[in-house]
Protein backbone atom coordinates (compact mmCIF):
# COMPACT_ATOMS: atom_id res chain seq x y z
CA UNK A 1 0.00 0.00 0.00
CA UNK A 2 2.79 2.47 0.87
CA UNK A 3 4.55 1.59 -2.40
CA UNK A 4 1.41 2.44 -4.40
CA UNK A 5 1.08 5.80 -2.65
CA UNK A 6 4.72 6.66 -3.35
CA UNK A 7 4.24 5.69 -7.00
CA UNK A 8 1.14 7.91 -7.22
CA UNK A 9 2.99 10.90 -5.74
CA UNK A 10 5.91 10.26 -8.11
CA UNK A 11 3.60 10.29 -11.17
CA UNK A 12 1.86 13.42 -9.94
CA UNK A 13 5.21 15.22 -9.56
CA UNK A 14 6.28 13.97 -12.99
CA UNK A 15 3.07 15.26 -14.62
CA UNK A 16 3.42 18.61 -12.86
CA UNK A 17 7.03 18.92 -14.05
CA UNK A 18 5.96 18.14 -17.64
CA UNK A 19 3.25 20.81 -17.36
CA UNK A 20 5.77 23.42 -16.14
CA UNK A 21 8.16 22.59 -18.99
CA UNK A 22 5.28 22.89 -21.49
CA UNK A 23 4.26 26.33 -20.13
CA UNK A 24 7.83 27.63 -20.27
CA UNK A 25 8.19 26.34 -23.85
CA UNK A 26 4.96 28.08 -24.93
CA UNK A 27 6.04 31.35 -23.33
CA UNK A 28 9.43 31.28 -25.03
CA UNK A 29 8.13 30.34 -28.50
CA UNK A 30 5.17 32.73 -28.54
CA UNK A 31 5.73 35.57 -31.04
CA UNK A 32 5.98 38.98 -29.44
CA UNK A 33 3.54 41.64 -30.70
CA UNK A 34 5.08 44.43 -32.74
CA UNK A 35 5.22 47.71 -30.85
CA UNK A 36 3.29 50.52 -32.53
CA UNK A 37 5.41 52.85 -34.62
CA UNK A 38 6.40 56.04 -32.83
CA UNK A 39 4.09 58.96 -33.46
CA UNK A 40 5.81 61.62 -35.50
CA UNK A 41 5.67 64.99 -33.83
CA UNK A 42 6.53 67.99 -35.92
CA UNK A 43 7.17 70.32 -33.01
CA UNK A 44 6.12 73.41 -34.98
CA UNK A 45 4.14 75.92 -32.97
CA UNK A 46 1.95 78.59 -34.57
CA UNK A 47 0.41 81.69 -33.05
CA UNK A 48 -3.28 82.46 -32.91
CA UNK A 49 -3.45 86.16 -33.83
CA UNK A 50 -6.69 86.74 -31.91
CA UNK A 51 -5.79 85.48 -28.43
CA UNK A 52 -1.98 85.30 -28.89
CA UNK A 53 -1.89 81.62 -27.93
CA UNK A 54 0.75 79.28 -29.35
CA UNK A 55 -0.57 75.89 -30.43
CA UNK A 56 0.90 72.88 -32.30
CA UNK A 57 0.48 73.39 -36.03
CA UNK A 58 -1.13 69.97 -36.54
CA UNK A 59 -3.85 70.83 -33.97
CA UNK A 60 -4.57 74.36 -35.19
CA UNK A 61 -7.56 75.40 -37.26
CA UNK A 62 -6.10 76.59 -40.57
CA UNK A 63 -7.59 79.24 -42.85
CA UNK A 64 -6.21 80.92 -45.95
CA UNK A 65 -7.40 84.51 -46.33
CA UNK A 66 -6.07 87.03 -48.88
CA UNK A 67 -3.35 84.54 -49.83
CA UNK A 68 -2.06 84.40 -46.25
CA UNK A 69 -2.26 81.31 -44.08
CA UNK A 70 -3.69 81.94 -40.61
CA UNK A 71 -3.98 79.61 -37.62
CA UNK A 72 -6.51 79.61 -34.79
CA UNK A 73 -6.80 77.71 -31.52
CA UNK A 74 -10.61 77.43 -31.72
CA UNK A 75 -13.60 78.18 -33.90
CA UNK A 76 -14.45 81.05 -31.57
CA UNK A 77 -11.14 82.79 -32.31
CA UNK A 78 -11.61 82.15 -36.03
CA UNK A 79 -15.05 83.83 -35.90
CA UNK A 80 -13.63 86.77 -33.90
CA UNK A 81 -10.99 87.34 -36.60
CA UNK A 82 -13.77 87.81 -39.19
CA UNK A 83 -15.46 90.42 -37.00
CA UNK A 84 -12.34 92.59 -36.95
Taking residues 57-72, report their average pLDDT: 92
What average pLDDT does the chain have?
A: 89
Range of the domain at 13: 1-34
Instruction: For residue 15, tell me if it sits in a domain.
Output: yes
Q: pLDDT > 90: what percent of the chain?
A: 60
According to the model, what pLDDT value does residue 41 have? 64
Taking residues 69-83, report their average pLDDT: 92
Cβ-contact 60, 31 below 8 angstroms: no
pLDDT greater than 70 at residue 15:
yes
Instruction: For residue 39, tell me if it sits in a domain.
Output: no
Instruction: For residue 24, tell me if it sits in a domain.
Output: yes
Q: Give CA–CA dist 65/55, Å, rounded.
A: 19
Q: Give CA–CA dist 23/33, Å, rounded.
A: 19
Answer positive or negative: Cα dihedral of 5, 11, 12, 14.
positive
Number of domains in the chain: 2
Same domain? 54 vs 30? no
User: Which is more confident, 66 or 39?
Assistant: 66
Cβ-contact 46, 72 below 8 angstroms: no
pTM of the shown model:
0.49
Amino acid sequence: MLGGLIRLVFYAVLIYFAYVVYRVYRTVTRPRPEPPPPREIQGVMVKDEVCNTYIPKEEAIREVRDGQERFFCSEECRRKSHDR
